[in-house]
Amino acid sequence: MGTTWTNSNLGYPRLGENREWKRALESYWGEKISKDDFLKEMKELRLGYLQKQRDAGVSFIPAGDFSFYDHILDTALMFGFIPERFQGEPDSLTTYFNMARGTDKAPACEMTKWFNTNYHYIVPEIGDITPVLKENKPLHDYKEAKEELDIDTRPVLIGPFTFLKLSKGYDSSEFETKLDELLPLYVKVLQQLQEAGASWVQIDEPSLVPTLTKEDLRFVQKTYDTFAREIPEMSIMLQTYFEGIEYYEDITALPVEGIGLDFVHGLEKNKAALEKHGFPKDKTLGVGVIDGRNIWRADLKEKEALLKKIDEAAPEADKVIQPSCSLLHVPVTKTLETKLDGILYGALSFADEKLKEITTLTDRMNGGSAEQALDENQKALQVFAETYRQQSADLTKQREALPSERDLPFAERQKYQDEKWELPLLPTTTIGSFPQTKEVRVARQQFRKGEKSPAAYQEFVRGKIKEWIDIQEDIGLDVLVHGEFERNDMVEFFGEKLNGFAFTSFGWVQSYGSRCVKPPVIYDDVTFAEPMTVEESRYAQSLTDKPVKGMLTGPVTILNWSFERDDIPRRETAFQIAVALSQEVQALEEAGIDMIQVDEPAVREGLPLKREEWNEYLDWSVLAFRLATSNVKPSTQIHTHMCYSEFQDMIESIRALDADVISIETSRSHGELIESFETAVYDKGIGLGVYDIHSPRIPSVEEMKDMIDRALQVLPADLFWINPDCGLKTRNTPETIDSLKNMVQAARESRESRKLPTS
Ligand code: GLN
Ligand code: ZN
C-alpha cells in the first residue's frame, strides 16, 4: 500500500439551487430574455458550479457535463447528427432546441429513459448522415474553466460505444461502419483537448453494464485501441456506472489509464470481480462509493471499511474516490430544507453534501483523521436509525396475514362479476384522470397556500366530479371514473397521505429538458394512516347508477418514483406499500366501491439493467401487486393500467398480476402488440388503448373501429375493453369530450357489426 488517494466528481446537477437553470431556459423559450442574456446566465451558472466543486476540494472536476438540455443531444449536435427536418436554421442554438422540443413542422426527436433512472435523453437519429465535427463542446468548457477560474478540469465525453448503442436510425449490422466513421472525430476532439492542456478525460460508457455480447466487446476494444494508438499521451478514465461491468478482465485490460466502477449499484458484482481478478497496477481505479442516485447520507465508517477492502484488492493502483455516477440524479443541496424534521435532515445528503463526504473519505484514506466530520456523521445516522427505521414486527405479521391470491381463479370470478356488473360486451371506460385545467390547478394552489379553506376546496373538487360524471353519462361510457381532480401527481398524492414519506421543498431533479420532478422521500416504514380516496370515490358513485372505478397507484410505481430507503431491500418497501394499499382497497370495498383500478405505469421502467435479474424483480413486483389487490370479494373487479407498449417480453408477469382487467397503452404500436397476442394467449379482461392521448388530434370513429377490428382478430370479444391509451389529464375539455364521443360510437358500431347486444 502507500498509494495516495485523490477524488473526483463525475457530473454536477444542472438545475441550480433554486432551479435558476430551468427558469433561464423557459424565459428564453418564452422570449422573455434575449439569447445573449440567456447565454450569459448559463455561463454564470456553469462557472458557479465549477467553483463550488473546487471549494469542496474535488481534485478532478468535470467540464462538459453542463448542458442546455441533455448531454446526448449535445453529443449528437457536436458530430452533426441533425435530422433533415431540422436542417436549415441559421442559428445552431435554434436547431438544438428544435430537435429537443419539436416545431410546428418538425416533430421533436424521440426521448427515452436514461438506463434505469428517471432522466430522459434525446435519442440521436443516425440515418444516412455522415458525421462531422461541428463544435468541440468539451473543449469550449475546458478552456472556459481554465481562463475564467484557472481550474484545470477533466472534460467528460459520452463514449462512442454508448453513443451509438443509444442512437437509432441504423441497422445493428451497420454498427461497426458507424463506429468507424465516428472514431476519427472522437480522436480529433481528444487531440484538441490535449493541445489545450487537458491531461485527463472522462469517457462515460454506461452501455458496458447491460448484458453485453462478445461482438460488443470487440467494438469497445477497437474503440480504445484506436484512442491509445492515435493519442497515446491522453489519459482516459473509462467510466461506467449503474451496475457491475460485464467482461471485467477484458475491460480492465483495455489500453486506458483508468477505469471507473460503481461500488454502490454494482457493488456485489464489481467487488467480487475485483477481488477475484485484481486490478492492473499501472491503471487508476475510479472508486464510486458515494451513491449518486439516492439522497441518503453515507455511513462513512462503512465506506471506509469498503475502501480498505478495495485497497487490499488493488494495492498498487492509484485510486480516486468518487460518486457512483454523475450527481445529475440528486438535488443540489439540503441546506435549503428548513421545514424537515431535524433527525431526517441529519440523514440526508444531496450533491453538495456528497462532495463533502467524498473529500472527508479522501482525507481519511490519506491518513488524516477528519474526526469531527466522522463523529457528526456517525451520530446523525445513529439517531436516525433509532428514531425511524425500526422495522416493527407488526408489519411482517400484517403481510403474512394477507392473501397473495384471489379466492377464486379468474374464470370463476368472471361469472360473479358478469352477474354483478351487467356490462355490455366491449365495455367502454377511461384510464382515470380528466383534464387538469388551469381552474383545477389554481384551486389546488390556493388550497395549499391556505387561501382556500379545506371545505371550499372539497366543494370545488366535488363540483368537478359532478360535472364530469354528468359528461361521462352524456357521452355514454359504461364504466366511469371520478376524474382525479384532487391529485396533482399520482405518487405524491398517496405519499402525502401514507406514513413514512417526507417531502422536500427544493429536492428537484431533472427529468427531461427543463422538466423537473421532486420525488417523495420514503424514510420510514410505510403504513396506512386513514382512507385516502374513499371520499371522492363514494361521492362520485352516489351520483350515478353506472359503476365508478376506485383509483389507486400501485406499490411498485410508488416505489420507483420515490427516493427509496437504502437500509432495506427495495422489495421490502414495495411490500410495505402494498400492505398499506390493501387497507385502502378494503376501505373502498366497505364503502361500496367494488371496481378498483390499481395503476402500475412504472413497473417496466424499473426493470434491472441486467437481463438475468429481471425475474427476481418481476416476481416481487407481481407479489406486491397481488398483496395489494387479492383480499377482495370474487365479484370485486380489479383493474390495472400500464402505459407502455413494449411488454411482449414480460407478458407472463402481466398475466401473473391476476388483475381482472388490464389496460395497456398501444395506440402507437398497435401492429406489434397484436402480433404478440398471436403467440401469447391473454385470458383475462384487456383494453388496448384505441387512441393516443398524447396528441391533441381527435381520432375518428373509423380509425378506432379499425383498431378494435384488428385487436379482435386475436383477442376474444367477451374480454375486450375499449379505452383511450392513458389518462386524459393533459388534454383540454373539448378535445376530451369529442374524442370520447367518437370512441363510444366506435364501440357501438363494433358491437352492431358483430351482432353483439348494444347497451
Ligand atoms: N390513472 C392515471 C391517470 O389517468 C394513470 C396515469 C398513468 O398511467 N401514468 O392519469
Ligand atoms: Zn398510462
Ordered domains of the chain (ranges, CATH): 425-753 (3.20.20.210)
| Other beta carbons within 10 Å of 203 | 24
Contacts of 604 (CB under 8 A, 6+ apart): 642, 644, 646, 647, 650
Q: Is the CB of 208 under 6 A from ligand 1?
A: no
- At position 249, the amino acid (one-letter code) is E
Contact criterion met (CB below 8 Å) for 496 and 503: yes
Helix (H, G, I), strand (E, B) or coil at 637: strand
pLDDT in tens, 607-666: 999 999 999 999 999 999 999 999 999 999 999 999 876 777 888 999 999 999 999 887
- Residue 2: predicted pLDDT: 54
Closest CA to 704 of 471, 422, 428: 428
Task: Read off φ and ψ for residue 251, nearest 5 degrees.
Answer: -65, -45
85 pLDDT higher than 50: yes
Helix (H, G, I), strand (E, B) or coil at 66: coil
- At position 522, the amino acid (one-letter code) is I
DSSP string, 234-268: SEEEEE--SSPPSSHHHHHTSS-SEEEEESSTTHH
- Residue 217: predicted pLDDT: 98
Contact criterion met (CB below 8 Å) for 236 and 161: no
pLDDT in tens, 347-360: 999 999 999 999 99
Ligand nearest to the CA of 689: 2
pLDDT in tens, 483-494: 999 998 999 999
- Residue 393: predicted pLDDT: 74
Distance 633 CA to ligand 1 centre (A): 25
- At position 703, the amino acid (one-letter code) is E
Question: Going by CA atoms, what residue is nearest to atom 9 of ligand 1?
Answer: 601
Contact criterion met (CB below 8 Å) for 275 and 304: no
User: Which of the pair, 696 or 291, is modelled with greater confidence?
Assistant: 291
- Residue 1: predicted pLDDT: 47
Round to the nearest angstrom and report the end-to-end CA distance of the chain: 80
Question: Going by CA atoms, what residue is nearest to atom 1 of ligand 1?
Answer: 432
Torsional class of 478: left (φ above 0), alpha (ψ -120 to 50), beta (otherwise): alpha
Mean confidence (pLDDT) of the chain: 95
Q: Is the CB of 674 under 6 A from ligand 1?
A: no
Contact criterion met (CB below 8 Å) for 719 and 683: yes
- At position 100, the amino acid (one-letter code) is A
When pLDDT is cut at 50, 70 and 90, the band that residue 211 belongs to is: confident
Distance 641 CA to ligand 1 centre (A): 8
Question: Going by CA atoms, what residue is nearest to atom 10 of ligand 1?
Answer: 727
Around ion ligand 2, which residues have CB less than 5 A away?
Answer: 601, 643, 726
> Residue 527 is inside which H or E element, if any?
strand 521-527
301 pLDDT higher than 50: yes
86 pLDDT higher than 70: yes
Q: Is the CB of 727 under 6 A from ligand 1?
A: yes
Over residues 690-699, mean pLDDT: 88
Give percent above pLDDT 70 in the chain. 98
pLDDT in tens, 427-447: 999 999 999 999 999 999 999
pLDDT in tens, 709-728: 989 988 899 999 999 999 99
When pLDDT is cut at 50, 70 and 90, the band that residue 757 belongs to is: confident
Over residues 1-24, mean pLDDT: 92
Distance 124 CA to ligand 1 centre (A): 28
- With the most atoms of ligand 1 within 8 angstroms of its CB, the residue from 480, 487, 490 to mutate is 490
Distance 728 CA to ligand 2 centre (A): 9
Q: Is the CB of 604 under 6 A from ligand 1?
A: no
Question: Going by CA atoms, what residue is nearest to atom 3 of ligand 1?
Answer: 727
Sheet holding 235-239, edge to edge: 5-7, 318-323, 284-290, 258-262, 235-239, 200-204, 154-158, 62-63
- With the most atoms of ligand 1 within 8 angstroms of its CB, the residue from 641, 643, 728, 736 to mutate is 641
Distance 404 CA to ligand 1 centre (A): 24
Helix (H, G, I), strand (E, B) or coil at 139: helix
Distance 72 CA to ligand 1 centre (A): 29
pTM of the model: 0.94
265 is catalytic: no
pLDDT in tens, 545-569: 999 999 999 999 999 999 999 999 9
**Alpha-helical runs (H) found in 630-700:** 651-656, 670-679
Atom of ligand 1 nearest to the CA of 430: 4
- Residue 276: predicted pLDDT: 98
Distance 259 CA to ligand 1 centre (A): 42
Atom of ligand 1 nearest to the CA of 727: 4
Contacts of 140 (CB under 8 A, 6+ apart): none
Helix (H, G, I), strand (E, B) or coil at 605: helix
- The whole-angstrom separation of Cα 338 and Cα 344 is 11
Atom of ligand 1 nearest to the CA of 432: 4
Atom of ligand 1 nearest to the CA of 601: 8
**86 grid coordinates:** 431540422
> Residue 210 is inside which H or E element, if any?
none
Instruction: Please name every residue paired with 120 in a beta bridge, in sequence order, or none if there are none.
Output: 113
